[in-house]
Amino acid sequence: MIFFRTILSFIMDKGYRDLLITTFIILIIGTISYHYIENWSWLDSLYFCITTLTTVAYGDFYPKTNPGKIFTIFYIIIGIGIILTFINTLYHHYSKSFSKREGN
């Protein structure tokens, strides 16, 4: 239950909400781009975006076209910073909320 309350408080804060929206925009742009550039399914495109930007990158999907490779170069440069900032901010917000609840 603490996790859901933390997420809700995260969404209610404007600064965090803007970061969340930016993260979703980056994922949506990547998903749409890979769907059309590489002719992947919507799910495969989203999967590739998430595994790439979280630096997991299993290697089961990779761009095969030159436009896809060029897009990936810029997508990684822009996206990794945003995704890692989102994950780090969410972690710190959760830790802070958990510490407050433990202190009470």
Least confident of 2-11, 56-65, 69-78: 2-11
pLDDT of residue 42: 98
∠ CA 3-89-94, nearest 5°, is 25
Cα torsion 9, 14, 19, 22 to 10°: value is 120
pTM score, whole prediction = 0.75
42, 35 contact by CB (below 8 A): yes
3.50.50.60, 3.20.20.70, 2.60.120.10, 1.10.287.70: CATH of 20-92? 1.10.287.70
Q: 103: pLDDT confidence band, cut at 50, 70 and 90?
A: low
Torsion region of 17: left, alpha or beta (phi above 0 gives left; psi -120 to 50 gives alpha): alpha
28, 101 contact by CB (below 8 A): no
In this predicted structure, the answer to whether residue 104 has a pLDDT above a threshold of 60 is no
- Percent of the chain whose predicted confidence (pLDDT) is above 70: 89
pLDDT of residue 3: 67
Q: What is the mean pLDDT of the chain?
A: 85
